[in-house]
Amino acid sequence: MSRNYRDTLHLPKDEQTIPMRANLPEQEPRWQAFWREIDLYGKMLAKPAPNGDFILHDGPPYSNGDIHIGHALNKTLKDIVVRSYCMRGYRTPYVPGWDNHGMPIENAVSKEFLARGEKPDKATLRRACREYAQRFVDIQREQFERLGLVGEWERPYLTMDYAFEAGIVRVFGELVARGYIYRGLRPTLWCPTCQTALADAEVEYEPKVSDSIYVAFPVVKPPSDAPATDNLQILIWTTTPWTIPANLALAVHPDLEYAYVRANGAVYLLAQPLVAPTMEAVGVRDYTVLGTTTGAQLEGAIARHPIFERESPVVLADYVSAEDGTGVVHTAPGHGAEDFATGKKYGLPVLCPVDAAGVFTDEAGEFRGLPITPDGNRAVIERLRSVGALLHYEPYHHNYPHCWRCDTPLIFRATVQWFMSIDHAGHRARALEAIRGVRWIPAEGEARITAMVQNRPDWTLSRQRAWGVGIPAFYCEACGEAILQSDLIERVAGIIEREGSDVWFTHPADYFLPDGFACPHCGATRFRKETDVLDVWFDSGSTHRLVLETRPHLRWPADLYLEGSDQHRGWFNSSLMIAIGTRDAAPYRTVLTHGFVLDGEGRKMSKSEGNVVSPLEVIQKMGADVLRLWVASCEYFEDVRLSDEILKYVADAYRQIRNTLRFMIGNLADFDLARDAVPYAQLNELDRWMLARLQEYLRYALHAYESFEYHRFYHETRRFCNVELSAFYLDVIKDRLYAEARESAARRGAQTVLYELASALTRLLAPIIPHTAEEVWQRLPAPDKPVSVHLADFPAVREEYRNAALLERWERILEVREAVNRAVEAAKNEKRIPNPLSAHVLVHAPEPLYGVLGAYPTPTAPDNLLARVFGVSQAEVAPADGALQVEVRPAPGQKCARCWLVLPTVDAETELCARCRAVIGA
RNA sequence: GGGCGCGUAGCUCAGUCGGUUAGAGCGCACCCCUGAUAAGGGUGAGGUCAUUGGUUCGAAUCCAAUCGCGCCCA
């Protein structure tokens, strides 16, 4: 039984380092409390910022429901940006915001009223919406803070704040003043029972039996290549006969092939691929195809409306398909979104002879007064039959949009809406030019938003809703004209700023108008207010004006917008429209987008699939730092994946990084940087190698941060910790740390390097795992360190530590180390030695390798660097002619009872090697 | 159906201008250690680069089609 020298070693003690088990769910809130206590965010802003401001403008999440994994990805990325820019010497204010108005909250609140059998007026409903929104702002704020996000949580921006609502009205007023805003007809999904417009999200598709008809339109101006006939007719098919009175055009696809078909004594024109099915459907057996043409050839031909004395020109449209019908689409711009767009392109009017209740108006002529279904349908069909235009009728089963409240089949009906013109004053072209001046990351984003801005129609700003900012327009009760004036809008804004936008719904028009105001059109003095509210995309599209320009520590434009790639159509787009319309420039300099979070198989997460990962659960079970490390591990420019399996691997990575830091901190317990640091020139070669390696790692890591490629940082850090530190450097220096004299240069030198490593790693990891980094930072033995790691700067690359020649030489040594490992492993397997520390290694090294290895000290010296690097007790190098060869044999001598090296200098009396005898003075 | 993208070991990621046998870390298997111990070390096995076709002396890389997946539209 050997004597116990354990107490004479400088082993790390548990209580002098961070615990191995992180217990993040419990510890993280304590660090968050610490940050609040020291006002971390305030201190971050107060810290010197040699690189100036960096403004990340937060896109507002909707204040409804708990946060989901998409929020976690987005906000964590933002937090990494904010914290890392701060540590890179920027001043980084971050004002989080929420989007409060809109349909989902209004609907949720309406349901609550409905459940209680109440029918609230608009003011009551709006008050309940405001409370509801505030409740979820508070809930989400707490959840975001639990994620560890740093920012201005005490003073976020809310789109329902009075000042914000007033600001929205003023931005709208600016667009009015610049001539962007107009009123016009546009088809919207309409419920004739509820007599209201519906949003797409309120539509439910259900099976329905419709009246489908084939109708012939007589041609009055035939296409140039038409066969000679005095009875050419164009065939259409529709499932909504009641829209025939509103027909203004016939649409064909330019690239589709069309056929002239002789049958029934007439010549019919329809899509060639649909000739056979159509003839069969209408019961025609004998027919002849006289010739074919293309859709493009048909443009300019003119048909006559089968009922009314009116022309119906042939127009081209890409959405026409040869899937069903006749390949010719009956086009009624007042009754369909596509029809409307085509009508606009060809300058057709928007005819909508149907009122709010779904009854034909005077414009429907003989059909006036009939409800469109079923009477209107029937009357139209009968009329078509009587004029000989009806080729066939049959019931048709399909899925059709229904009202989610009352289950009534919906109709498309043109209604008067407010618009922002996208082509006013060269707006679209200026927007496209501004896009070119923005940096889009990844670069594909530019093509995406460019296509969307190129193709987007005018912006429909009005919504027939309650929970939003009222459109500040008045109508003259006498002449009915709409009154939209900048001065009146400013008056309204001023009142809203004081009283909130509810006031628009609780007070009469007089309240907002100056005394004696008279209608500019007719001079009358009685007015009513517009009841529509603004699209919520207008709210969020205004945030750059109402947040960046109103808070003194912010600035317009923002340096960065960072959102999911769906916002190319959403927020990036609406913000750009308003910025170009009011400030003539883009509101952002850089736009960074991330993908969506999918499950482990790359599929969309959905409740019904049961593959949803809740960030709240992950935080509760594993901690926010693990979730954040997952975010950093992802190449997020594309879609990212998340599953329990993936989280398990990330948690493993977290533990490995944590343990590496734990070991370093533990071995720095008796180290004081000011007192004990060893000057670079006195460090041994391995230590200098480590510092050189650290600089290379730093270069890579800092570059990864600069390019927002956190996953590259993550991977390199993992590799650095596992391969270069744990498996090599830290393992090799254990002998020095534990066994050399406490104050020796050998031990203090290793600690000096440990300090550099721990300090650099902790700071670099801080933006990603802020709680863990803080935990380590508080243990780091540095004099005059900032109170929080988040107030420190990123480590800089120290050029004086870089050393290419040294790295190159050690590249060779590490190759030999691998050969030694293989030889030792073989010896172990052959039972020639029990373990590496009982081995003596003889390396037969050919030139030029021998020139490198031969320069190191003698085989059995306690400071035999090669033996330590190889992880054996003794190592020798001999010149060789052939290939590199490694001989392994049991090391001669005895095992030192203190340092466990097998050395010939161990004496029987003390069981200690010469080095250990000297160290403990035995 | 259209626009924009993605697809490289079990997982997460590299892979430059087309050029050796496609790399890394983790995980996995086996072994060692018990002085980082709910840790640490060593060795090793894993890939038809989604599929098919093409261009080329040569393709993970360029082109086309197909399949699968995602976002935005219809």
Average pLDDT of span A70-97: 98
Distance A145 CA to B10 C1' (A): 35
Mean pLDDT calculated for residue range A896-917: 94
Percent of chain A with pLDDT over 90: 83
Q: What is the total residue count of chain A?
A: 922
pLDDT tier at A345, thresholds 50, 70, 90: confident
A886: three-class secondary structure by DSSP: strand
Classify strands A482-483 and A462-463 as parallel, antiparallel or unpaired: unpaired
Q: Residue with CA nearest B13 C1'?
A: A715
Q: Which nucleotide is nearest to A835 (CA to C1')?
A: B32
DSSP A261-313: EEETTEEEEEEGGGHHHHHHHTT----EEEEEEEHHHHTT-EEE-SSSS-EEE
| Dihedral sign for Cα atoms in the order A166, A172, A175, A176 | negative
pLDDT (0 to 100) of residue A2: 56
Q: SS3 string of A662-701?
A: HHHHHCCCCCCHHHHCCCHHHCCHHHHHHHHHHHHHHHHH
Q: Could you identify the residue whose CA is nearest to the C1' atom of nucleotide B12? A: A633
Average of pLDDT values for A8-14?
95
Residue A364 CA, nucleotide B57 C1', distance (Å): 75
Which of the nucleotides in strand B have any atom less than 7 Å away from a protein CB atom?
1, 3-6, 10-14, 24-27, 31-44, 69-74
Question: Is the ipTM above a cut-off of 0.95?
Answer: yes
- pLDDT of A114 > 60? The answer is yes
The reported pLDDT for the residue numbered A325 is 85
Q: What is the band of A749 on the pLDDT scale with cuts at 50, 70, 90?
A: very high
Residues 6+ apart with CB under 8 A from A358: A192, A371, A372, A373, A411
- Compute the mean pLDDT over every residue in chain A, rounded to the nearest whole number: 94
Residue A43: pLDDT over 60: yes
Confidence check: pLDDT of A187 > 80: yes
Interatomic CA–C1' length for residue A152 and nucleotide B10, angstroms: 43
Pairing of strands A558-564, A588-594: parallel
Please give the protein residue whose CA is closest to the C1' of the nucleotide B11. Answer: A646
Residue A476 (CA) to nucleotide B54 (C1'), in angstroms, measures 70
Q: pLDDT confidence of A229, banded at 50, 70, 90?
A: confident
Share of chain A above pLDDT 70, in %: 99
State pLDDT tens for residues A268-299: 999 988 898 899 889 898 999 999 998 888 98
- Cα–Cα distance, A554 to A586 (Å, whole number): 16
In degrees, to the nearest 5, what angle opens at C-alpha A76 toward C-alphas A70 and A81?
A: 130
- Separation between the CA of A716 and the C1’ of B29 (whole angstroms): 26
Nucleotide nearest to A630 (CA to C1'): B12
- The 10 Å Cβ neighbour count of residue A318 is 11
A712 nearest nt, CA–C1': B13
Query: According to the model, what pLDDT value does residue A508 have?
Result: 96
The lowest-confidence range among A355-359, A591-595, A656-660, A717-721 is A355-359
The spacing between the Cα labelled CA in A712 and the C1' in B29, in angstroms, equals: 29
C1'-nearest nucleotide to the CA of A634: B12
- Across A150-202, the runs of DSSP E, i.e. the strands, are 157-158, 181-191, 196-197
Retrieve residue A366's tokens.
């003989």
User: What are the Cα distances from residue A731, in Å, to A728, A869, A889?
Assistant: 5, 9, 22
Residues in contact with A507: Cβ distance below 8 Å, sequence separation at least 6, in sequence order: none
CA atom of A712 to C1′ atom of B15, Å: 13
B41 closest protein residue (CA to C1'): A727
The predicted pLDDT at position A191 comes to 87
Nucleotide B17 C1' to residue A57 CA (A): 39
Rounded, the Å distance between the CA of A76 and C1' of B43 is 39
pLDDT of residue A354: 93
Nearest nt by C1' to A336 Cα: B74
Question: Which nucleotide is nearest, taking the CA of residue A318 and each C1'?
Answer: B2
Q: How far is the CA of A225 from the C1' of B34 (A)?
A: 94
Q: Report pLDDT digits (tens) over A525-566.
A: 999 999 999 999 999 999 999 999 999 999 999 999 999 999
Neighbours of A892 (CB within 10 A): 13
The model's confidence at residue A789, banded by pLDDT at 50, 70 and 90, is very high
> To which residue do tokens 């092939």 refer?
A257
Shortest CA–C1' contact from A667: which nucleotide? B36
**Predicted model pTM:** 0.93
Residue A661, nucleotide of least CA–C1' distance: B36
Question: Band of the pLDDT at A631, cuts 50, 70, 90?
Answer: very high
The nucleotide minimizing the C1' distance to residue A652's CA is B26
Tell me if A28 sits within 8 A of A654, measured CB to CB: no
Residue A871 zone, left/alpha/beta (φ > 0; ψ -120 to 50; rest): left
Measure the CA–CA gap between A153 and A145, rounded to whole angstroms.
8
Q: What's the rounded mean pLDDT across residues A619-640?
A: 97
Tokens standing for A863? 């400071």
CA of A444 to C1' of B63 (A): 20
CB atoms inside a 10 Å sphere around CB A42 = 10
pLDDT, tens digit, 9 for 90 and up, residues A875-887 = 999 999 888 999 9
> If you measure CA to C1', which residue is closest to nucleotide B25?
A719
Nucleotide B44's nearest residue (CA vs C1') is A822
Kindly indicate the confidence band of residue A860, based on its pLDDT and cuts at 50, 70 and 90.
Answer: low
Pairing label, strands A328-331, A249-252: antiparallel
Q: Which residue is the nearest neighbor of B38, CA to C1'?
A: A21
**Could you tell me the distance in Å between the CA of residue A324 and the C1' of nucleotide B69?**
29
Give the residue, A857 or A420, on which the prediction is more confident. A420
| pLDDT tens-digit readout, A396-445 | 888 788 887 788 888 999 999 999 999 999 999 999 999 999 999 999 99
> Residue A94 to residues A155, A261, A420, A550, A709: CA-CA distances in angstroms?
10, 68, 31, 14, 21
Alpha-carbon gap, residue A754 to A671, rounded angstroms: 10
A374: preceding bond cis by omega (within 30 degrees) = yes
Exposure on the CB side of residue A233, measured as CA atoms within 13 A? 22
Question: In this structure, are residues A860 and A905 in contact, taking their beta carbons and an 8 Å threshold?
Answer: yes
| Res A858: pLDDT | 63
- DSSP state letter for A360: B
Instruction: Report the nucleotide nearest the CA of residue A645, measured to C1'.
Output: B11
What is the band of A642 on the pLDDT scale with cuts at 50, 70, 90?
A: very high
Q: Kindly report, residue by residue over A194-211, the tens digit of the pLDDT.
A: 887 777 767 777 778 889
- CA of A591, C1' of B9: distance in angstroms: 34
Residue A1 has pLDDT above 60, yes or no: no
